[in-house]
Structures are given as C-alpha cells and as structure tokens.
Structure 1
C-alpha cells in the first residue's frame, strides 16, 4: 500500500511540476496570451494603415486633384501664376500670449 501511495505522490509532484514550471506551464500560457494581444493590436494598426494607403492609391488613380495636392504638400510645388508666402515665426517667442 505504501508503494502505491509513494507512486501516486511522485506522479502528482511530476504533474504539478509540469503545470507550474515545464513546457506549456501556466506562466508560458499567460505570456503567449499577452503576445497574442500585442500582435492583434499591431495587426489592427497595420490594417488601418493598409486601408489608408489603398484609399490614397485609388485617389491617385482616379484624378489629378490628389496628384496636385500631394505635389503641393510633399514637394512644395505651386501653380503657375500663384504667389507663395512662407510665414516664419521667430524662434524663442511664445505663441500663447496672456
């Protein structure tokens, strides 16, 4: 009878060790859940970025207005006959006056 109890106790200790420390332990499962959550958030952000880029591609394919806007904002281009004014604020001055 003592041998059976000793075997059962040894089996219980082995299973408890695997549950808390070994491969597939509770700590590892929690770490993997956290990693899944982080990857899902990253995926959501990447999907939003992909959607925005796809919309921009469609705009560029559809008309000249999007091309013109992009040339103005990214390349600083202006139309013929327009006058470009650049307002420069002095550095070191506060914009919030009291």
Structure 2
C-alpha cells in the first residue's frame, strides 16, 4: 500500500526539482536576470550622469549669456560693436 504513495511522492519530487533547475524562474534563470538587472542599472547610472551634465550645460546656455558670448567669441570670432579685434601671429 505504501509503494504507490512512494512513487507519487518521488514523481512529485522530480517534477519540483526539474522546475527548480530547468523551468521558468529556475536558479540559472534568476542568476542571468540578476546580471541583466545589474548591467541595466550601470547603464542607467551612466545615462543619468550624461543627462545631468547636459542639463547643466543647457541651463548655462539658457541663463548664462556670458557663456554664449564666450563660445561665440572663441568659435566664430564674434566682435562687439565699437570693439577692435587684434590678432597676434606667433
């Protein structure tokens, strides 16, 4: 009488072990997903840092006319009215 019960319990144990090691949500699957999550968090941190830098530069460009003027002077050679531009060749 105990023999069929043992077989049922053994079959149930095998099914549960198969799920643990091979099925969805298995140990290897969880480890892989943890690595994917870690990689994504690193990418998010790098993107957040780049966004913060761009946001700060955008804020400076919107509010800081001095920075705009400095860039215009250095990149395109802007000269204000009544200013004299002197270029020294070395």
Assess same fold via TM > 0.5.
yes
Runs ≥4 residues deviating over 4 A: none
Q: Which residue of 2 is the match for residue 58 of structure 1?
A: 59
Asked whether the equivalents of residues 78 and 84 of structure 1 are also in contact (C-alpha less than 8 Å), the reply is: no
TM-score where L is the length of structure 2 = 0.80
**1:9 to 1:60, Cα distance in 2 relative to 1, 3 A:** same
Instruction: Indicate the RMSD between aligned Cα atoms, in angstroms.
Output: 2.1
**Greater Cα radius of gyration, structure 1 or 2:** 2
Q: Which residue of 1 is the match for residue 25 of structure 2?
A: 24
Structure 1 residue runs without a partner (length 5+): 86-98
Structure 2 residue runs without a partner (length 5+): 80-84
TM-score where L is the length of structure 1 = 0.74
